[in-house]
Amino acid sequence: MAFTGSSLRIQGDDNLHSMLVGTVMRKIKSRTWKKQRYFKLQEDCMTIWYKSKKAGKAHSTFSVSDLEAVREGHQSEVLLSIADEFPPDRCFTLVFRGRRGNLDLVAESADEAESWVRGMRKLMENLENMGERERLDQWIGDWFKKADKNKDGRMNFKETQDLLKMMNVDMNEHHAHRLFTMADKSQTGTLEDDEFVLFYKMLTQRDDVMRVFQDYSGDGQKLSQADLEDFLREEQLETDDVQRHATQLIELYEPSDAAKQLNAMTFDGFLMYFGSAEGSIQDPRWRGLFQDLGQPLCHYFISSSHNTYLMEDQLRGQSSVEGYIRALTRGCRCVEVDCWDGANGEPIVYHGHTFTSKILFKDVVLAVGKYAFKASEYPVILSIENHCNIEQQKVMAHHLSHILGSALLKTTLEGKSLARLPSPEDLKGKILVKAKKIGGLEQSLGGLTEDPLTGEVSDEDEAAEIDDDNSHSFRRKTKKSKQRLSKELSDCVVYCKSVHFSSFKHSRIHQKFYEVSSFTESKGRKQLRDAGGEFVHHNSRQLSRVYPSGFRTDSSNFSPQEMWNAGCQIVALNFQTAGEAMDLNDGLFRQNGGCGYILKPDFMRDPERRFNPETPQTRDTYRPLVLHIQVISGQQLPKVNIKEGSIVDPLVRVEIHGVPLDQNKQETRYIENNGFNPVWYDTLRFTVHVPELAMVRFVVEDYDKTSKNDFVGQYTLPFGCVQQGYRHIHLLSRDGTSIPPASLFVHTRITELE
């Protein structure tokens, strides 16, 4: 069988062998819901199958590729809740990509748990190390197994036709039969797996790529080293040591040793190059850390989450420590903690005055301590909304200090200026608290502190925020209500003191560099409309946080782009809600090593340069660019409509998100009944006035003339990361997870505006 690539690797692996035999484990959903299930690894070494011991035929499966991590012990709320019942060495959690819930399991013995944990990690590692070609073979093999209904390892024409439908191909029966006969080398009237691979390759013949290959190939059979260099120079617009790069590409992607000997690339190698990171639209050079991280914190956009504790919406959603773990492991660097008085003197976290469930503040701090620096070593900000009494504030301060230890920043950094914020580099591995503070840094340094009993801060801004954030009519604003602050909690605040914003003029005269103001999205928009240039100028010296309005009870998001245009650093989004806003956030922060900090353009950092996002033409370095995108074709787009026999009618929309003048979207035609290999060759053209702030989003939709188009896939990246030339765009699901092998093939050019 050609499809057992991964099973070759399990020879001699005892863990995988016992997984293939199968194990009975308990699936745990809560303290009271614990049911036995039989779990088994399938022969493909890619699928886990499980079923209830007593239920009839019902079973479930998931793929190893759906998994993000395996956690050992009591590392989820559900398993913590039964910690008294099952020891940690029998428990583990499977964490899925995207927004799918975890699977919490308890094995019958510690050895069995360890065997599954190790086996799963081995399978995940195998998958990581698989080449493009193996992945494709694996994907074809998965389809083959799905379609081979009678499990005899071969497929007749009828089964093949059904499979084409499942794969989103609407094909002329005559054409399909011709390919079927050509692939049936053994002339048995059925395709065995190798023959099926051949059939698939004929079916996916990439004429679009072949055209490019033929254009540059001297003999129509291969690209010589010189042909490949010409292609890289003329089409991909590469300038750095093209000769060396061509040699590298042949070495990396050419499957034929004979061609390698000749220093040449065959069509197969050319296809492999296009499918790789180097052939992708996102420039791989900007994926790692490449920016200067030594500038003051206010010079960066910071990946930030709102209502981090919620897994769903703001009214009824479940509060969960998992929300913090997910945000932090996605590189989020600012999380929100909404604290209220709890029972037994322990503060709790939840969305006040609503029906969302409650979690302990202590558990949140434990999770932050454990996961803060898994994805990035750069600082994490805890944005604390404090509604607790003095006693519980002291408990909060105690938990922060004891659990976080030396990671919690409690004093100013030695040798750092007291006139500006430290940098992400200075603060590596540190956790900062953003909250109210009694007095300022100057007093605490001079040893002067106010009497803690009169440590009162005006609470008018807090009340206004709550009024807006929860949009409850019974919380009317009270002017100048006073909130008592505990000195212990106040001392945990160093560089991020929360203050009320009154006006840009007031800030210019009075605001200290370590003071942070918060704006609801509507307040932020108003400032942007009334005084965009002032807002940008303010943000060159201060940190600003913007969060979604309280009317978004469904936890929807506003577009972060408009606030980035004003230079706001902490634009807090509901990470739990998929959609355009999170696509933009993921797109911006995917570069620079996913570290959660992106340096703002120089004209937003320099207070002397007056940039106004409303009138970008007036800046001194105004140089608009034109982006030309030819959308050529799509490959293996996933099915969105589960209806039997329905096939996607795909269209591609390209959106530019940026300053108001740059906001733009254009679409290709839709192609009827072809999600498998649609071809457009449609050209779209955009003028981009502030390329440094622009984001490009590619969206594929299933056209529907009677109702809203269905979403198929998307990919979003900063304009500055776009590679020119012929490129593939590897599409992501609504959740931001990859959906291989779905892709678009495009040609891009960036020119100056004539």
Express each pLDDT in 263-309 by its tens digit.
999 998 999 999 888 999 999 999 999 999 999 999 999 999 999 99
Confidence (pLDDT) at 642: 67
Which residue has 């530019």 as its token pair?
Answer: 656
User: For the chain, what percentages of helix, strand and coil (3-state, to nearest 5) are there?
Assistant: 35, 25, 40
Residue 1 counted as domain residue: no
Residue 289 counted as domain residue: no
CATH of the domain at 697: 2.60.40.150
CATH of the domain at 229: 1.10.238.10
Q: What percent of the chain has pLDDT over 90?
A: 69
The answer on pLDDT for 616 being more than 80 is: yes
With cut-offs at 50, 70 and 90, classify the pLDDT of residue 543. very high
Per-residue pLDDT reduced to its tens digit, 660-677: 999 999 999 999 988 888
Confidence (pLDDT) at 57: 63
Confidence (pLDDT) at 715: 98
- Spatial CA neighbour of 396 closest among 471, 280, 488: 488
Query: Could you tell me if 554 and 653 lie in one domain?
Result: no
Query: Could you tell me if 319 and 433 lie in one domain?
Result: yes
Residue 615 counted as domain residue: no
d(CA 506, CA 453): 28
Query: Could you tell me if 471 and 557 lie in one domain?
Result: yes
CATH of the domain at 56: 2.30.29.30
Query: Could you tell me if 30 and 78 lie in one domain?
Result: yes
d(CA 21, CA 14): 11
Query: Could you tell me if 139 and 100 lie in one domain?
Result: no
Confidence (pLDDT) at 271: 92
What stretches of 42-145 adopt beta strand conformation (E)?
47-52, 59-63, 67-72, 91-96, 103-106
Give, in degrees to the nearest 5, the angle at Cα 596 between 294 and 497. 70
The answer on pLDDT for 441 being more than 90 is: no
The answer on pLDDT for 621 being more than 50 is: yes
Rounded to an integer, the average pLDDT of 362-380 is 97
Is the distance from CB of 398 to CB of 457 less than 8 angstroms? no
Catalytic residues: 306, 351
d(CA 379, CA 76): 24
Residue 438 counted as domain residue: yes
The answer on pLDDT for 379 being more than 80 is: yes
Is the distance from CB of 579 to CB of 558 less than 8 angstroms? no
> Phi-psi category of 422—alpha, beta or left, where left has phi over 0 and alpha has psi -120 to 50?
beta
More confident residue, 657 or 468: 657
d(CA 286, CA 421): 26
Query: Could you tell me if 377 and 521 lie in one domain?
Result: yes
Rounded to an integer, the average pLDDT of 478-484 is 61
The answer on pLDDT for 655 being more than 60 is: yes
**pTM for the structure as a whole:** 0.88
Query: Could you tell me if 236 and 332 lie in one domain?
Result: no
d(CA 588, CA 374): 20
The answer on pLDDT for 180 being more than 60 is: yes
Residue 97 counted as domain residue: yes
Alpha helices in 471-600 (DSSP H): 487-490, 504-510, 521-538, 560-564, 580-589
The answer on pLDDT for 314 being more than 90 is: no
With cut-offs at 50, 70 and 90, classify the pLDDT of residue 58. confident
Query: Could you tell me if 527 and 578 lie in one domain?
Result: yes
For the chain, the average pLDDT equals 89
Query: Could you tell me if 262 and 394 lie in one domain?
Result: no
Give, in degrees to the nearest 5, the angle at Cα 299 between 555 and 385. 40
Read off the amino acid at residue 711.
F
Query: Could you tell me if 199 and 242 lie in one domain?
Result: no
244-257: buried (b, 16+ CB within 10 Å) or exposed (e) per residue? ebbeebbeebbeee
d(CA 306, CA 335): 7
What stretches of 495-646 adopt beta strand conformation (E)?
496-498, 515-520, 543-547, 570-573, 597-599, 625-635
Q: By mean pLDDT, which of 24-38, 95-109, 122-136 is the weakest?
A: 122-136
Query: Could you tell me if 401 and 420 lie in one domain?
Result: yes
Confidence (pLDDT) at 453: 44
Residue 673 counted as domain residue: yes
Residue 285 counted as domain residue: no
Confidence (pLDDT) at 457: 52
With cut-offs at 50, 70 and 90, classify the pLDDT of residue 133. confident
Per-residue pLDDT reduced to its tens digit, 337-347: 999 999 999 99
Confidence (pLDDT) at 54: 63
What total number of domains does the chain contain? 5
Q: Which domain holds residue 635?
A: 622-752
User: Which residue among 203, 221, 252 closes a domain?
Assistant: 203
Confidence (pLDDT) at 412: 93
User: Which residue among 605, 631, 662 closes a domain?
Assistant: 605
Q: What percent of the chain has pLDDT over 70?
A: 92
- Spatial CA neighbour of 330 closest among 599, 590, 77, 564: 590
The answer on pLDDT for 5 being more than 70 is: no
From residue 129, how far is each of 122, 132, 425, 629, 687 by CA, in Å?
11, 10, 32, 32, 40
Q: Counting runs of H as helices and runs of E as strands, what totals does the chain give?
A: 23, 30
Query: Could you tell me if 166 and 273 lie in one domain?
Result: no
Residue 671 counted as domain residue: yes
User: Which residue among 94, 128, 162 closes a domain?
Assistant: 128
